[in-house]
Amino acid sequence: MAKEPPKEVNEASRPNEGKILRLLSMERSMKALILIIWAASVFLCWPSLPSAEDNPVKLFEKGKSLLNAGAYDQAIEIFSKIAGRLDPGKRNAHVVILARAKAYLAQGDWKNALKDVTQVIQTEGVDGEILASGLQLRSVVNLRRGREKQALGDLTAAIKVQHESDSLRSLCFASRGMTFTRLGQADRGVSDLSKAIELDPKSGFAYAGRAQAYLRQDNIERARKDSEQALLLDPDEQTRKIAEKVLQELSVSASGPSRVSVSMGSHGHIFVQVSFSKKGKLHRFLLDTGATYSLIDRDLLAEISRETEVKQIGKGMVSTADGAVHTVTRYKVKTAFLYNLPLGEIEVHVFDKKGKRITNLLGAQSLRSVSVSIDNQDRKVEITRKD
C-alpha cells in the first residue's frame, strides 16, 4: 500500500518636533502560505528632509516597493540605512526592522530574519501590534525551518497579545489554522480559520486557507465554495494560488459516459472523487495504482453505510511505504462510482487503531472496471470505463 502523502499583526495624535505621518500597510508573505501586517496605523515621527533620497518615509516606501518586486538586496540596504538613523527602541524603528526581516526571509536568509525579529520581540515595552506582528513573522521563520510546534507556539502567543487590530488578530488565527491543517489537524484548522473570517470577513487568505482545511476534511462542496469566495475578494498572488490549487483539484477537464479526464496535482498526486450511490455525496480520494487495496477514514465508513450495503468480511494486515504494519478491518462495499464511472463492488480497509484523520486511498483492486492512463508531460489523467 502506498504511503499517504504528507499532511502541507491609534495612537492619539500628538505634537512633535517634525512632521507626523501615518503609514498603513498590510504586506503578504511572498513565498509562504503565511502573511504579516506591517504596522497598522503606525505613526512615523520623522522630520521632513529636503532631499527625497534622505527622507526616511520616502525611502521606506521605496524599500517596500523593492521588496514586493523581489529586489531583496536593495530593499535590505534601504531598510538598514533607515534603521541606522532611528532609536532602536521606538516603534518606527521596529516597523523598519520587521520589514528588513521579511526581506531577509524572502531571500532565504532565515538567520538574519530571526535576528531582526528577536531584536523587536525582546524590546522592553514593545507595542502590542508590533509584538504580535513580530511573533507572526517568527512563526514563518520556524515553519521554514520545519519547526511546526514552535510556529504554533508563536501564533498562539500572538493571538493572546492585547491590541486593537481585528485584521491582525484575524491573520494570526488564519496562520495558525493553516499550520494545523499542514500538521494533519484539519478540524482545528477549520475552527481557527472560521474565527479568522469572523474577525475579518474580507480576508481572502482565511477563506483560501479554510478551503484547504475543508478539502482535508473530505468536505468537497465547502472547499469549492470557500475557494470561489477567496477569488472574489481581490486576492493577492499567494492567496490566489492557494484557492486556484483547490479548485484545480476539484475540476474535471473532460467527462462523458465512459471517460473522465482530470489534472495531476503539483506533487504528482492524483486526487479523484468517489461516491457510493448514483447521486451520493462526493468524497476525496487519492488514486494510487501502486496500492493494492483501498483505505478509508473511519468516519467515512458510517457515511457509506447510509448510502449502500457495507459488509464486514474479516481482518487483515497491511504494510505502508514507511515499513509500518497495521491491522485493519476489511469491508465489502456494494456500489461505488469514480465520478460517473461505476466501479461495482469494492473492498475497503479501515485501520483498527484510532488515529488522526487519514486521506482516503483508492487502490488497484477497486479499479478493475476502469483503465487509468497517466500523461506526465501534460499532467493529465485519463480514466476510461472498460467494455
Residue 186 reports pLDDT greater than 60: yes
Domain ranges of the chain: 21-248, 254-385
pLDDT tens-digit readout, 302-313: 899 999 999 999
pLDDT tens-digit readout, 168-181: 999 999 999 999 99
pLDDT tens-digit readout, 195-250: 999 999 999 999 999 999 999 999 999 999 999 999 999 999 999 999 999 998 88
Tell me, letter by letter, the H, E, C secondary structure of 352-370. Answer: CCCCCCCCEEECHHHHCCE
Assigned C-alpha cell, 291: 496500492
Rounded to whole angstroms, the Cα distance separating 358 from 361 reads: 9
φ/ψ of 45, rounded to 5, equals -95, 60
Out of 2.40.70.10, 3.20.20.140, 1.10.1380.10, 2.40.160.210, which CATH number does the structure's domain 254-385 have?
2.40.70.10
pLDDT tens-digit readout, 250-267: 888 767 788 999 988 877
What's residue 377's pLDDT?
85
What is the value of pTM for the model shown? 0.77
Rounded to whole angstroms, the Cα distance separating 107 from 30 reads: 10
**Closest C-alpha to 178, from 90, 239, 220, 234:** 239
CA angle 245, 247, 252 (to 5 degrees): 115
The verdict on domain 21-248 having CATH code 3.10.450.30 is no
Residue 49 reports pLDDT greater than 60: no
pLDDT tens-digit readout, 137-184: 999 999 999 999 999 999 999 999 999 999 999 999 999 999 999 998
Q: How many CB atoms lie within 10 A of CB 110?
A: 18
